[in-house]
Amino acid sequence: MRRKLATGNWKMNGSLAGLDMLADVATAMGSDSAEAVICPPSAYLMPAVTAAQGTSVGIGAQDCHTESKGAFTGDISAPMIKDIGATYVIVGHSERREAHAESDADVARKAQAAWAADLTAIICIGESEADRSAGTTLDVIAKQLAGSLPDGCTGDNTVVAYEPIWAIGTGKIPTLDQIIEVHDFIRAELAKRFGSDVTDALRLLYGGSVKPDNAADIFKVENVDGALIGGASLKAADFVPILKALSAA
């Protein structure tokens, strides 16, 4: 049985004071079944871990370097993320693929770095609007899966997040049929490569304009095991209803 997962990606947003939402999320969660993870900017990782201590809210980073240490000004490594007590790291977000020219191979190396540090990698994939219009969505997804997921994926070390680029921060979300098609396809591709035991344990998140008012419908989709949430993860007032919808799904 896959445990549902709501992950908040703050991107380059939030503040030290904004970490107060962690306590609100923890309180609201109660004994809810879904897991909650917040990924703040690296400047707030350590205070986030401290704020979440003793609660069931997990903390993750938004990126890591492929190397564990060295002369890489401005970067942070997977062992550092582990060292401060975070447990997840997002790799291959489309904003990093685009703004930092990260290739599938780079993303795979980051996932391996995460695993080596005993972190769970949330590996992001997703098509552009041009891909969708050209009818090549599934080809793009297949290529990203093949290139960005290293051999050795398990349900413990990896979460796959499908984020159509055109749905990120736009308020546009795919139809449920489109989400079903891509998530079913991802599950089938994973099964071909990793076998059904691994695939049955691997969580697939949907990301892109998930909000309190559309979350319940998205979470009804069988192969959606949770969400990667941007804007609506900054405040407990938005994040908690999404988490509740997930627990109820």
Ligand X SMILES: O=C(CO)COP(=O)(O)O
Contact residues: ligand X, CB under 6 A: 9, 93, 163, 168-169, 207-210, 228-232
Q: Between 63 and 104, name the residue whose CB sits nearer to ligand X.
A: 63
Residue 223 assigned ligand-binding role:
no
| Nearest distance in Å: CB 228, ligand X | 4
CA-wise closest residue to 62 among 5, 124, 9, 131: 9
Residue nearest to ligand X (CB): 230
Residue 231 assigned ligand-binding role:
yes
> Which of 93, 95, 102, 127 is flagged as catalytic?
93
Question: Angle of helix 104-116 relative to helix 137-148, nearest 10 degrees?
Answer: 40
Residue 159 identity: V
Residue whose structure tokens are 């290529």 = 143
Would residue 65 show up in a list of annotated catalytic residues for this protein? no
The residues facing 227 across adjacent strands are 6, 206
214 burial level (CB within 10 Å; 0-12, 13-18, 19+): middle
CA-wise closest residue to 20 among 53, 58, 52, 56: 52
Q: Between 198 and 212, name the residue whose CB sits nearer to ligand X.
A: 212
Would residue 35 show up in a list of annotated catalytic residues for this protein? no
| Nearest distance in Å: CB 90, ligand X | 7
Cβ of 159: how many Cβ atoms within 10 Å? Answer: 26
| Nearest distance in Å: CB 97, ligand X | 12
> In the chain, helix, strand, coil percent, each to 5?
45, 15, 40
> Which of 35, 163, 183, 189 is flagged as catalytic?
163
CB 154 within 8 A of CB 123: no
Residue 9 assigned ligand-binding role:
yes
Residue 209 assigned ligand-binding role:
yes
| Nearest distance in Å: CB 8, ligand X | 8
Q: Between 168 and 186, name the residue whose CB sits nearer to ligand X.
A: 168
| Nearest distance in Å: CB 119, ligand X | 17
Residue 11 assigned ligand-binding role:
yes
Exposure string for 49-68, b = 16+ CB within 10 A, e = fewer? bebbeeeebbbbbbbbbbee
CA-wise closest residue to 224 among 241, 236, 242: 242
Q: Between 57 and 79, name the residue whose CB sits nearer to ligand X.
A: 57
- Residues contributing to the annotated binding site: 9-11, 169, 209, 230-231
Active site residues: 93, 163
Q: Which residues are annotated as a binding site for substrate?
A: 9-11, 169, 209, 230-231
